[in-house]
Each structure stands twice: as structure tokens, then as C-alpha cells.
Amino acid sequence: MCSNPFIAVINHQPAQRPPMWMMRQAGRVLPRYRCLTQKQPFHSILADAKMAAEVTLMPINDMGMDAAILFSDILVVPEALGVQVEWTTDGPVFPHPLMDLDSPASLLYFNPSNLMHVADTLDEIQCQNTDDTPVIGFCGGPLTCLCYMLGGRDKSMQFTDVVRYFYTHRSETEQLLEALTSASEYYVRLQAAHKISAFQIFESFASVIPVELYTSLILPFVRRITAAARDCGLPVIFFPKGFGTGLSVLTKDDCDFVSIDWHTPLSTARAIVSPALGLQGNMDPRLLFAPQAVIAQHLQTYMDFFNTYPDYIFNLGHGLHKDTPLKNVRFVTSWFKQK
């Protein structure tokens, strides 16, 4: 039996308990990360291989997670395509959304050198990773990145004008998706060459378009990213947040594991997702604010689910909230490790 439960389960091998990691675990709730951000802005940390590697591994040392996820951002790929992103304390800002421009696809130019800081970070992680902890690489889903590229930052997270653009500018949309996906394929291979163990595609805005449109317009591009990862021997986790009953259309062409948000019960997901695919998720991150006795009751349901369906990775239904009590995160990891 593999000593690391994440490596075991992601490869459909037996484990004694579900592996654990949490989206947005790198940073956010960690005091050491907060101290770092008081001295360095977010984007400076991303660009510094030593600091980014340190933050990547913090959840292993400070929380007891079974896997690390690369400390980076989904917007590094749009940046590498020439989209201007300004990193502020309130999040990314897009001074020139592509939707305001004529023929925006013709303005994109992929510069691979803009991604080399990620390769440097992964190399530094290997130097610091004395326990051989698996590292998860990632990119943004095609729809999510394109929403940002076209519309900039939408506080409503509905991207109504962007979706309208999809319907009125189908050919231009497909050209943009082609450019974005080609860059993402390169990015997958870059991360694979620097020794990640698995790859996750974060499609945070899957809910902003109908399932039928996602299936016809976006999913073929997702499959290309997955195929690039598979060509490198990497298992793939796909997180289509808010996809709902669309989960039923996913196949092995799309991923190896599907990450489930908190809106869809795991039992429902297991009933509609192909049995060839494992599941990840779906605990509500806000539950981590509850008393530990309440948290433990929910953890038991995940343990029971794992005992019935062992192709399962424990995670949240979205990212950790920045004010989550660290003691409760540690309670979760210690609870599972005592089983």
C-alpha cells in the first residue's frame, strides 16, 4: 500500500483513509503567510521562487495536509498571452478588458518566458520538499480565464456581458479559446517537466452559462488540457463549480476525478457522475467556523462515504476563507489521521 494516501487514491489504489488537501490552502489562513504578505505583495511572492515554494509547502508543515498545491494564480496564463493584469490588495484588476477591443484574438501573443517563474518555483519546491510530498499543479478552466480576459473583474461573478459576447461573437470566442487552450497545454507540460504529481483544472465560473453551451463550446477545450496532462502521465482533477446536473456529461476524456462544490451532495454526485471517475470535495468551507463537535459529525459522513466509495479525496466545495480558524483546519486533518 502506498505510504501517501493522495498518491494512492489519485491512482485508484487502496488507502486506509481519504487523502486531504484544501483549495486555497497555500496562504490565506496561515499566520506565517500573513507575516510574509506584510512585507511582500502577492505578485512579488509569486515571482520569487523561494518564497512561493515556501508558501506551497506551508500547509504540509502547519496543517498536516497530504498534498501541496502550487502557490500561483490562474491568471498567469492570460498574462503570458499579453493580457494586462494589475495586482492590488483587493485582487486583480484588468485595465483593458478584451471585450472593449476589436478582434481581440489577433492581439494575443503567447510568451512562454512569462511562465518560467513557475518552473523555478517547482524546482525550488523539490529542494525544500524533504518529505517527498506530492505537489498538485493547476491552471484555470477555459471559461473562467476567458471571462476574466473579456470582462475583467465582475463583482457579481455572473459575467452577463461576456456571456452575451459568446452568443454574438461565436467565431471570435472560439479563437480566444484556442489561444488560451494552446497556452494552457504548454503550461501543463511545463509543470509536468518540473515534477508535479497531479493536475487540477479550476473552472470556477462553470455556472455562468447553460450546461448545453458549456458542453458544446467549452468542454472540447477542457479535454485538450486534460489530454496534455495525460500525455505527461498526470492524473487530472476537474473542478466545474456550479455545474450541477452537467456533472452527468463528464467522462474519462474530461478528467480522472471530479471536484464537487457544496451545492451538490456527494451522494447525488456519485449517482450521476460516471463510475469511471473518482470524486473530490465537497465540504462547505464555512462549516470550519462551527464548533469542533459539529465538524466531527460531518467528517464522519465523509469517512463513511470513503469506506463505500474509496475513489474519494477529501476537500472543500470551494476555497478556504481567509479568516477560517486555523485550529479547526488542524482539527480536520488530525481527525482523519486518527482513523
- Which pLDDT tens digit goes with each residue over 213-240? 999 999 999 999 999 999 999 999 999 9
Query: Is the pLDDT reported for residue 207 higher than 90?
Result: yes
- Which pLDDT tens digit goes with each residue over 169-201? 999 999 999 999 999 999 999 999 999 999 999
The pTM score is 0.97
311 contacts 255 by C-beta, under 8 angstroms: no
- Which pLDDT tens digit goes with each residue over 111-126? 999 999 999 999 999 9
192 contacts 233 by C-beta, under 8 angstroms: yes
Q: Domains along the chain? A: 5-334 (3.20.20.210)
- Mean pLDDT, the chain, rounded, equals 95
Work out the pLDDT band at 88, boundaries 50, 70, 90: confident
- Which pLDDT tens digit goes with each residue over 277-335? 999 999 999 999 999 999 999 999 999 999 999 999 999 999 999 899 999 999 999 99
Query: Is the pLDDT reported for residue 45 higher than 70?
Result: yes
Q: Which positions ≥6 away from 231 have C-beta within 8 Å?
A: 189
* Long-range interactions of 170-173: CB distance < 8 A, separation 24+: 170/217, 172/103, 172/104, 172/105, 173/146, 173/217
Q: What is the pLDDT of residue 1?
A: 61
Query: Is the pLDDT reported for residue 58 higher than 70?
Result: yes
The amino acid present at 102, given as its one-letter code, is D
* CB-facing half-sphere around the CA of 171: CA atoms within 13 A: 2
